[in-house]
Amino acid sequence: MEAFNSLILILDATLRVATPLIFAALAGMFSERTGIVNIALEGKILASAFAGAAAAYVTNSPWMGLLAGVMVSVVFAWMHAFATVTHNGDHVVSGMAINILAAGLTAALGNFWFRQGGNTPNLVDPFNDIDARFTPITFPFADQIADVPIIGGIYSELLSGHFLLVYIALLAVPVCWFVMFRTRFGLRMRAVGENPSAVDTAGISVTGMRYLSLTICGVLAGLAGVYLSVAVTAQFLPNMSAGKGYMALAALIFGKWHPRGALLACLMFGVLQAIADRSQGASLGGFSIPVQAIEALPYILTVILLAGFIGKSIPPKAIGKPYVKERE
Amino acid sequence: MTAQTDVAAQMAIELRGIDKRFGPVHANKYIDLKVEQGTIHGIVGENGAGKSTLMSIIYGFYEADEGDILIDGQVTKISDSKIAIASGIGMVHQHFMLIQNMTALENVVLGAERGIMLNDSMKHAREVLERLSKEYSLEVPLDTPVEQLSVGLQQRIEILKALYRGAKILILDEPTGVLTPQETEHLFKVLASLKEQGTTVIMITHKLQEIMAATDNVSVMRRGEMVAHVKTSETSREQLAELMVGRKVLLRVEKGEAAPKDALLEVSNLSWTAPDGVLKLDDVNLNVRAGEIVGIAGVSGNGQSELLDVLSGIKQVQKGEVKVNGHVIDKSHPLTPSEVRAIKVGHIPEDRHRMGLVNSFAADEAFILGYHRLPQYNGKVFSLRNEITKDCAEKMEKWDVRPQDPNLKTANFSGGNQQKLVIAREMEQDPDVLLVGQPTRGVDIGAIESIHNRIIDMRDAGKAVLLVSVELEEIMSLADRILVMFDGKVVGEVPASVANEQILGLMMANIVPDEVKALQKEAQA
């Protein structure tokens, strides 16, 4: 029973940790499947986390935070599109520029507006009548059956009691799959990333497809950022995205640019993170394992797995290449 | 359509004064063209004559700077491919516009979907395609990813794509470049049946023989200008060649009997596996004697490139043995490309842009690539720039490389002159064994003539020449013996005196005709 309970707790934490990764990986999928290398996910997450927290605090509404976060992320995505699609810029360089811009801008604006060293004020502050954090959703009867063995653990602990965005993230996976593989938009999107000239000669605008995909990418990355600041931490902290954009990108590559694969990869990262969190202070044969070593574990595993444990992952053929009509 | 008395009404497409410039390059100079409804119209011209640009303008890929396009007698402004498709124009590009990891069905549906959801589009397309493919004998597997299909099948998908979109005018850009003779024949049958159903076909090619075989009318382009419109039945290959080049051209290569001596290049049991595990060379055996040209025919991608790479030292021998001039190269005795050069093997690579030249180098720098360590180019510390430039200038004059400017960037020479530069470099080193890959790819007819003569000269000077080419005509006119490769294997050997397109075509599809089998038996006995 003890083991079961810790399993439930680990899985519960997995969902929480994996949610922003899932949003970001799906965001990356929309962009990379149309051929735009998206190393800028990190910056989009960070910018939307800041905008979300700031707007939620000012308006005292998590929903306004959500709206603002997503909008800012979309604007960042358009900047990326403007650089890479309209001006055929290098995807990685412009992506890094966006990341640096987001890191600097959020800290500077945060400090300028709120004067708390770059942080935004806490979104839950009863003394000032501030309550702008998303609240977890409790399923019906979750409290009543919490003590029933097994079922209670699964229903009340694992399934119930998450933020709305967690459920949206899980739902987004099949929705994105459907969009990508069962709709006209998805077919065109996949085609643009493979062979833009073929799409162009079929009478479809490559530029239009790429802008549209990056817009969707912006929305999804925005949700990841808002989840971090408005739901989990209830506050923006400088650099709070902490590499999640890159992790999501890795998950996307693991998952072979496929929603199902990406979901599994995100959950795997989530599990590793959850285990690492729970194992702090654990010891191995009298040695106490340093916390830092355990925290580094997911990243080390990422490197090892990426280095060749997952079989061949074939990227979209036209990825990273600007589309220029060539002469003859 | 209006009354038949209106001349324009019988024209499927008419161009009036189409003009297009790309910066300083005047690609199309005030082109006029009339293509009759329900005919097959050929457009010939050398590389860079402006054929592809013109077709891209009709298909809305580029917009003309000036001039009008009339479709069925109506002036139509085609500003993008969407309008071209809506006007009933379909195009099969030279480099297929297919998504390699999608199926034929998905490729056809892409851009011609019937609604937001795919299911309905797919079902409809499947029905239409099944009907079309029966009607025009264009059968293709609909549910296999395109990358697993042969180029011949991929081309069928391209044609189906155009027909599915209701094309009344079908443009084909160099459609036979990658096909076997049998596939080409089938394509021409398909085009003929399309014509019967009233479709107008425009075919761009530089192969005169195919123009003669398949078209009703021909237009000839030269340096961006339309120089002639003729009925195919009233012209000849020789006349067309002359129109294309602007002077008389010898289509046949004049050469005497070969006088082969000892084998200089012997390849035995050579196999080579690519890093992805695909067997690219499968137990290849061949020899080339001094004073003969051995041609390797085959559809591209059947191991010819790998053979040249291994022989020239770019790829290492994995299994088997290569003997050059008495030197043995095998797994335990690998040689680098420069060591291979040192034992007097010259290599004219298949792709001059990727392997033969550095496009951003000046001609004289490109001219010493691979031979830059030779003492005549190097002082104690610095290279002898003046010597190099002087040497290059001399060779350029001798080999008629134009313009004769050793300081000009390689990229600014025409394809033919770039190729001459590479050929001059390799032949001037007086190799005993010469490996030649696609010597006239992307080279204009005038230059082809002189390149062919140079290769024959090498043979007559007692060199062993191994020639790889996908142009059957080239192989047949140059080689003394012809080997055909399929799937990494040498399918068989035919003396040039016996070879014809039929025999080679069958062998390229891995079928050895009985007469060749008999010959081979005879040779063994």
pLDDT in tens, A203-235: 899 999 999 999 999 999 999 999 999 999 989
Rounded mean pLDDT, B335-351: 92
Confidence of residue B2 (pLDDT cuts 50, 70, 90): very low
With beta carbons under 8 A apart, name residues in chain A contacting B84.
203
Does A189 reside within a domain?
yes
Task: Nearest chain B residue to A179 by CA: give it.
Answer: B117
Percentage of chain B lying above the pLDDT 70 cut? 98
Does A103 reside within a domain?
yes
* pLDDT over 90 at B473, yes or no: no
Across the interface, which of B22, B101, B106 has its CB nearest the CB of A187? B106
Domain region containing A79: 2-241
Distance (Å) from the C-alpha of residue A178 to the closest C-alpha of chain B? Answer: 10
* pLDDT over 90 at A285, yes or no: no
A199 part of contact set with chain B, CB < 8 Å: yes
Task: Name which of A181, A183, A195, A205 to mutate to probe chain B: the one with the most chain B Cβ atoms within 10 A of its Cβ.
Answer: A195
All residues at 6 or more sequence positions from B207 whose CB lies less than 8 Å from its CB, including other chains: B176
pLDDT score for B470? 86
| Residue from A220, A212, A219, A279 nearest A248 by CA | A220
With beta carbons under 8 A apart, name residues in chain A contacting B97.
195, 197-198, 201-202
Domain count, chain A: 1
* pLDDT over 80 at A257, yes or no: yes
**What is the C-alpha to C-alpha distance for residues B390 and B16, in angstroms, rounded to an integer?**
49
pLDDT score for A328? 37
Model pLDDT for residues A99-122, shown as the tens digit of each residue: 999 999 999 999 999 988 888 888
All residues at 6 or more sequence positions from B298 whose CB lies less than 8 Å from its CB, including other chains: B304, B470, B484, B485, B486, B508
Rounded mean pLDDT, B285-313: 93
Confidence of residue B118 (pLDDT cuts 50, 70, 90): very high
Does A181 reside within a domain?
yes
A256 part of contact set with chain B, CB < 8 Å: no
pLDDT score for A34? 95
CB contact under 8 A, B111 and A195: no
Q: Give the CATH superfamily of B3-245.
A: P-loop containing nucleotide triphosphate hydrolases (3.40.50.300)
pLDDT score for A142? 80
A–B: how many Cβ contacts below 8 A? Answer: 76
All residues at 6 or more sequence positions from A287 whose CB lies less than 8 Å from its CB, including other chains: none
pLDDT score for B195? 94
**What is the C-alpha to C-alpha distance for residues A212 and A179, in angstroms, rounded to an integer?**
13
Mean pLDDT of all residues in chain B?
89
Does A136 reside within a domain?
yes
Rounded mean pLDDT, A40-55: 96
**What is the C-alpha to C-alpha distance for residues B160 and B146, in angstroms, rounded to an integer?**
13
| B515: number of Cβ within 10 Å | 11
Confidence of residue B9 (pLDDT cuts 50, 70, 90): very low
Model pLDDT for residues B18-50, shown as the tens digit of each residue: 999 887 778 899 999 999 999 999 999 877 788
CATH class of B263-356+431-524: alpha beta
Across the interface, which of B53, B110, B119 has its CB nearest the CB of A202? B110
Distance (Å) from the C-alpha of residue B381 to the closest C-alpha of chain A? Answer: 39
| Residue from B40, B9, B423, B348 nearest B198 by CA | B40
Domain boundaries, chain B: 3-245, 263-356+431-524
Interface predicted TM-score (ipTM): 0.86
What is the residue-wise DSSP string for A75-122? HHHHHHHIIIIIS---HHHHHHHHHHHHHHHHHHHHHHHH-STTPPPP
Task: Name which of B99, B106, B173, B174 to mutate to probe chain A: the one with the most chain A Cβ atoms within 10 A of its Cβ.
Answer: B99
How distant, in Å, are the alpha carbons of A111, A125, B223, B288 from that of A60?
Answer: 19, 10, 71, 85
Confidence of residue A296 (pLDDT cuts 50, 70, 90): confident
pLDDT score for A282? 66
* pLDDT over 90 at A175, yes or no: yes
pLDDT score for A308? 66
Does A316 reside within a domain?
no
Task: Name which of B110, B113, B164 to mutate to probe chain A: the one with the most chain A Cβ atoms within 10 A of its Cβ.
Answer: B110
Burial of A68 (0-12, 13-18, 19+ CB in 10 A): buried
Whether the domain at B3-245 and the domain at B263-356+431-524 fall into the same CATH topology: yes
How distant, in Å, are the alpha carbons of A232, B36, B81, B171 from that of B15?
Answer: 66, 12, 17, 14
